[in-house]
Structure 1
Amino acid sequence: MERWASNDLLVGRPLVSTDLSLETERSSVRVTYQGSPGTVIEAMVLNAFPNCIAAPQKRSEGALETVQSSLADKAVLTIENSSIGSFHQSYDLLLSHNLQIVQEVHMDVELCLLALPGVQKDDLQTIFSHPQDLAQCEHSLSNLGVSKKNVDHGAAGAEIISKQNLRGAGVIGSARAAELYGLNILECNFQDASPNVTRYLVLARTANIPKEYEQYKTSIVFGLEEGPGTLHKALVAFWKRDLNLTKIESRPNRGKPMRTLGTEKQFNYIFYVDFEASVAEIPAQNALKELEEIASFLRVLGCYPSTRI
């Protein structure tokens, strides 16, 4: 697993034990995420945590594992985009790692079309970017008539184009990526929809302890026993107490992928639910107790404030 320290942000170097002793001196939180200099998520991290030590990782799994092993304080996970919906892998990672959501951040994302100096749109044959960024620009790319090539993120595509001098290629990325890798911005706001808002979750080892009636959201994940109407019963537990659900997401139950419905075999799911309340509030506590009675398992993923930058 690779670990990186941000005081060498543009170069990158392994994060070593001596870096850990610097936290007290600098009083800076160490924030890790999947990405590199010039990625959109880097902009979110530096906006939300302006004095942080940024610690980019190659994969989201690595970011979460770095926090679990106490080599970083917080991990940032991209969870949803207003144009293309949920990031399903991120939901799976929430369940597979023992971390707590401590903050939610919404950020307007502007994606740019980048290429080498002198290259025009008509010269482009291939566009590099992360699959999710390509999906946010699907209509715009269709109008260009180009092929698409997946990379880890837009900054990685910008680096490839710059180092290999690919004059027939462009990349969807940030304005900062253009600056870092010597590319021109052919078009700003290249995404299909504006505003284009991405929702991020901040995770830590220790849960928030909210005071009663603070404005918090809570995220949970649960499975249900077999039987008719169990999902309805689960959701009614919140409706009866006037708790507003803001998100419901289903994912395959990998531990038990099939269930029996009469004589038929059906896919089995687990459910992620967000609702507007903190676990310090009595209605939320009662709803969770009722849900626990019909759930095959129930886990509180976090109780947290929501901000926009």
Structure 2
Amino acid sequence: MNSATGSDDPRDYLVEQSFENYTETDHATWRTLATRQREILKGRIANQFLEGLDRLGIGQEGIPDFRVMNRRLREATGWEVVAVPGLIPDLAFFRLLADRKFPAGFWIRKPEQIDYIEEPDIFHDVFGHVPLIMQPVYADYLEAYGKAGLVAAEHGALKRLARLYWYTVEFGLAQTPDGLRIVGAGIASSPGETIFALESQSPNRVRFDLGRVMRTLYRIDDYQETYFVLDGVEAWPSLDLDRLIPLWQHLEGQDDIKPGDLQPEDDVLAQGDGSYHAAKAKSAA
């Protein structure tokens, strides 16, 4: 989720993609990223994601032109991608989602940043996020999330919504007939986390529970210690405000949960051994 200060009016952040300004180096960087990631994702990501890539024409030819991509996206789900210069304030972000507009950075990382950048670029935002927006159920979930965010701001519950976004839209997993699959954009755009999230013995994998997720802290600087697993690729949680507001009130009296901690009531699908983060902590000591 976005985090910045400034105006809450999303119109203050919308810019032109200026597709013609991309250099051949920019397009080559996209091709390197997309070719590598598409190969790694085979057999690991939900089929609907790959279908979305193909239907949108988000491939290995170069950076997508938002004008072309949006025609296909609007026809499928009524959404469009809008260019923004970087992270934007929460309320502006929520208002865009509520209006079925997905904000995406228009710049791309430099070749020497292929493996890691601190702030999401067009590859993360478009390759990682947009393919699933071709799915009506997911598209509706994002819109409902934006509307819920505007209400959460009035109830002091923004941290709850941030955690939900993190553990579903960015780092969600889902059960499918073919096994566990990736549905989160943060995983889908990261070659290392694509493998770690599904195949490492280090993280916990816990069945999704809305209240549990909203209590759980997360890591922004490394792979996740716990992944939450939806019951299916279309099993996005209902964000009915009649349910959310009492839940937020109920959670106010409860402690936050550390990223790697399990709870007695968890439905644990795979208990991690924590070895990855323990080794990192030991080497840093």
Normalising by structure 1, what TM-score?
Answer: 0.24
TM-score (ref. length: structure 2): 0.25
Which of the pair is proportionally richer in strand? 1
